[in-house]
Structure 1
Amino acid sequence: MSAEPVGGDVNSMSLYPFLTSSEVDVDAVLRQVMRSTEDKAREIIALRGEVLERDRSELIACSASMAERFRQGGRLLTFGNGGSSTDAQDMASMFLHPGPDSTALPAFGLTSDIAVVTALSNDVGFDVVFARQIGAFGRRDDIAAGLSTSGNSANLLSAFDEAKRRGLLTIGIAGDRGGKMAESESIDHLFVVPSSSVHRIQEAQTTLYHALWELTVLALASNADTENGSAARSFQEELG
């Protein structure tokens, strides 16, 4: 290869052989990438299994509470920062646009309106960007769900405090050891992905809120079909 190096250390160059003038064993690099991918896949599978085993009962209890709020006319308000903001919007979209075979449930992400987010951040402060919206829009039967990989985001903690004061059901999804979210008395249901890797945390968190959506739908169905109890049994058996 004739290309000159464009920066970075030797190890990073070995992963991108087209950037270096030295001879590189491309097959060896591809084998290394394959092993790395397989290791990551095994890691996230094991992590999801660990979370499921530990939080099985909590997932069912949380989804039952969510279903009760939805039955009372409540809405789901989701929020997060950075990549967790994207996950929060995905969570809201899942409940609102579940597909042709499921009933849409009212949900929206608090980061979706960029005008509101930037106005609050600029005029008041980023720490209140979610709390102010919950104060304005939140109703007693609503659900507030916040996602964070560290569990330490000040604006999430403020949002949970505001939601708790207003009687909303509060759900936290965090990583590592839960950070300050694990110390908060304003979170009704807290799910913590025990990993120090942001990538693995977010992958497992995605699985968590997918499970919450599915179990909430089953809980709603169990209430509507109590005569034969089939949906109720499905609800209890969903997690094995």
Structure 2
Amino acid sequence: MSTVSEPGGIESLYPFLAPAPADREAVFADLCESTRRKADEIVELRRSLVALQGERLVACARELAAGFDAGARLFAFGNGGSSTDAQAVAQLFAHPPEPSRPVPAVPLAQDVALLTALSNDVGYELVFARQLAALGRKGDVAVGLSTSGASANVLNAMGEAARRGMLTVGLVGYDGGPMAQDDRVAYLFVVPSASVHRIQEAQITLCHVLWELTQRALTGEL
């Protein structure tokens, strides 16, 4: 049986599955350079977001703080990696490190039974909207994450949240996609990148900055 890798095979995506190369030092140097290049990309992207999104982040944080002072709850949602990030955001707001102030926050993808029931009964495109219809009330906060800005279930949830008078916060990549084409999102933070990896890395940074600013606003420092 031949051990030669087929061009374009799985080894092209996962080089470590291919037979050991003769020049290990060259491969190691390539890996180091690739890592440095990716690190430089995300650092530069994060820095660019300061000028691009700074004022909007401050305004959003102040509105979030006012909402939390009035009893608002935060609902976060997304798909795949964005779902994981949404859960991290909800965890940060609800269970922050001391002495920060916790606020009510719920990730909408945490209940597998509920997600599968809604997907089976009404369709996956409504799994978040239906939850907001049942749980959301005027003044609450909906935080939707999508790298493309085109996820149907996130867009539907944003529409439902807007109809209920909730504060809508969206984090998207590329050029914003469909989420940037209407006014259903009060605060939209676009990460201008074509790399899903860089987008998600920058989005979670934006979420942490937004949380920090919100904490400052809650204490009257902002």
Superposition TM-score tier, normalisation by shorter sequence:
over 0.9
Give the equivalent residue in structure 2 for 1:116: 114
Residue of structure 2 in register with 1:238 after alignment:
none
Matching residue of 2:137: 139
SS of structure 1 residue aligned to 2:219: helix
Q: d(CA) in 2 for partners of 1:127 and 1:188?
A: 21
- Among 197, 210, 214, which residue is 1:216 paired with? 214
Structure label with greater radius of gyration: 1
Instruction: State whether residues 98 and 104 of structure 1, in contact with CA within 8 Å, keep that contact through their aligned partners in structure 2.
Output: yes
Partner of 2:78: 80
Alpha-carbon contact 1:151-1:179 (below 8 Å) kept: yes
- Preserved CA contact (<8 Å) 1:13 1:19: no
Which sections of structure 1, spanning at least 5 residues, go unmatched? 223-230, 236-240
* Percent identity of equivalent pairs: 49
Helix, strand or coil: the match of 2:75? strand
- Segments of 5+ residues of structure 2 without an aligned counterpart are none
Alignment of 1:93-132 (within 5 A): 93-132=91-130
Aligned residues: 220
Instruction: Give CA-to-partner distance per residue, 1:163-189, whole Å, 9 cap, x none.
Output: 011110000000000000001321000
**Deviates further, 129-138 or 94-103:** 94-103
- Distance in structure 2 (CA, Å) of the matches to 1:156 and 1:12: 33
Instruction: Please provide the CA RMSD for this pair.
Output: 1.8
Aligned to 1:226: none
Separation in structure 2 between the aligned mates of residue 13 and residue 162 of structure 1, nearest angstrom: 40
Could you tell me how far 1:202 is from its partner in structure 2? Answer: 0.2
Code of the aligned partner of 1:28: A
Residue 92 in structure 1 maps to residue 104 in structure 2: no
Query: Are positions 1:19 and 2:30 aligned together?
Result: no
Tell me the distance in 2 between the aligned counterparts of 1:91 and 1:122: 27
Aligned residue number for residue 150 of structure 1: 148
Q: Aligned in 2, Cα 1:122/1:13: closer, same or farther, shift over 3 Å? A: closer
Is the 1:131–1:160 contact (alpha carbons within 8 Å) kept by the matching residues of 2? yes
Task: Provide the TM-score with structure 1 as the length reference.
Answer: 0.87
